[in-house]
């Protein structure tokens, strides 16, 4: 009996060690993502990439005051714009990961981004798990506001692929958005322009749960630039808000200093504190 008890204790110790190791490794991954994002976002300049080259877009230190915090009610409902997309080119997730969903009385988090912006990709990679939890719990409604600020052809490729997913498999769009950002972060970090292909977008879509039948339509949509009207609408909204750099994040209508939320729980901490760091 004593032997069995010793075996049980040994098994428990081993399980505890394995759990502690897994927790350490997960924390190390989170810390690494946080360090990368803090390094990327430090200072006043926000840099983007045209193509996958090195064109720099610098944000002015004298930033205009932004005011948001509202979600338009009407859909775009026009050719060249995906079905779930609203009249200002945005789409939402709130209370669920279905595009077009909103959560009652939730904090509105607006993210202005460009699929060719590596800082946008770093922001997404750092906060994706956190945003997922906040959306599913109903604590926030996320409003994604796309643009082609950096004038890159990669943005056209990504927007057209996302347009197909929003129209044909919308339930996979949240995961696909994150997968596109992860892919671009890899392209940027390796400086390997040969990775910027439809085939790699399809592979990212597969990882995100997009069906082969849906992703098979990416190539035609990209060649046709099927969703060009959506991109143009996003650019117009960017101008209407006076946004001149990406990523720009508004929490409860106010611009947020990204350095102040540069941890995997930064958004959650800010929202629970009931304030906005800007």
Torsion, Cα 231 236 241 244, to 10 degrees, reads 70
Exposed, middle or buried: residue 70 (CB in 10 Å: 0-12, 13-18, 19+)?
A: exposed
Q: What is the pLDDT of residue 14?
A: 65
H-only helix segments in the chain: 2-41, 118-137, 153-168, 173-190, 198-207, 212-215, 218-224, 228-241, 266-273
Model pTM score: 0.79
Distance in angstroms (rounded) separating the CA atoms of residues 251 and 274: 10
For residue 80, give the 3-state DSSP assignment.
coil
Neighbours of 105 (CB within 10 A): 7
Which pLDDT tens digit goes with each residue over 221-270? 999 999 999 999 999 999 999 999 999 999 999 999 999 999 999 999 99
Among the residue ranges 60-64, 168-172, 215-219, the one predicted with the least confidence is 60-64
Mean pLDDT of the chain: 84
Is the pLDDT assigned to residue 133 strictly greater than 80? yes
In this predicted model, which residue has the larger pLDDT, 1 or 161? Answer: 161
Q: At 248, which helix (H) or strand (E)? A: strand 248-251
Q: What is the pLDDT of residue 30?
A: 53
Q: What is the pLDDT of residue 69?
A: 81
Q: Are 158 and 201 in contact (CB under 8 A)?
A: yes
Q: Could you give the angle at the alpha carbon of 56 between the alpha carbons of 41 and 151, nearest 5°? A: 110
Task: Provide the pLDDT confidence category of residue 274 given band limits of 50, 70 and 90.
Answer: confident
Mean per-residue pLDDT, 82-101: 98
In this predicted model, which residue has the larger pLDDT, 206 or 24? Answer: 206
Q: For residue 53, give the nearest of 150, 122, 134, 175 by alpha carbon.
A: 150
């Amino acid at each position: 009996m004593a032997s069995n008890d010793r075996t049980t204790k040994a098994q428990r110790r081993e399980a505890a060690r394995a759990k502690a190791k897994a927790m350490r490794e997960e924390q190390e991954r989170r810390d690494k993502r946080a360090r990368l994002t803090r390094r990327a976002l430090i200072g006043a300049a926000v840099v983007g990439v045209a193509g996958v080259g090195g064109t720099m877009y610098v944000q002015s230190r004298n930033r205009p005051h932004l005011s948001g915090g509202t979600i338009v009610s009407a859909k775009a409902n026009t050719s060249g714009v995906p079905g779930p997309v609203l009249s200002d080119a945005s789409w939402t997730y709130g209370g669920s990961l279905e595009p077009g969903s909103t959560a009652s009385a939730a904090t509105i988090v607006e993210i202005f981004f460009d699929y060719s912006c590596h800082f946008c990709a770093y922001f997404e990679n750092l906060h994706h798990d956190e945003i997922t939890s906040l959306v599913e719990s109903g604590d926030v409604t996320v409003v994604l506001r796309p643009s082609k600020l950096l004038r890159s052809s990669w943005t056209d490729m990504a927007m057209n692929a996302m347009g197909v997913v929003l129209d044909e498999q919308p339930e996979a769009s949240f995961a696909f958005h994150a997968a596109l950002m992860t892919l671009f972060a890899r392209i940027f970090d390796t400086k390997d322009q040969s990775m910027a292909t439809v085939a790699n977008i399809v592979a990212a879509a597969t990882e995100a749960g997009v069906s082969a039948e849906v992703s098979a339509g990416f190539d035609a949509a990209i060649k046709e630039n099927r969703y060009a009207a959506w991109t143009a609408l996003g650019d117009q909204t960017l101008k209407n808000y006076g946004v001149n750099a990406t990523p720009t994040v508004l929490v409860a209508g106010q611009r947020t200093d990204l350095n102040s939320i540069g941890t995997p729980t930064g958004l959650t901490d800010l929202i629970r504190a009931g304030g906005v760091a800007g």
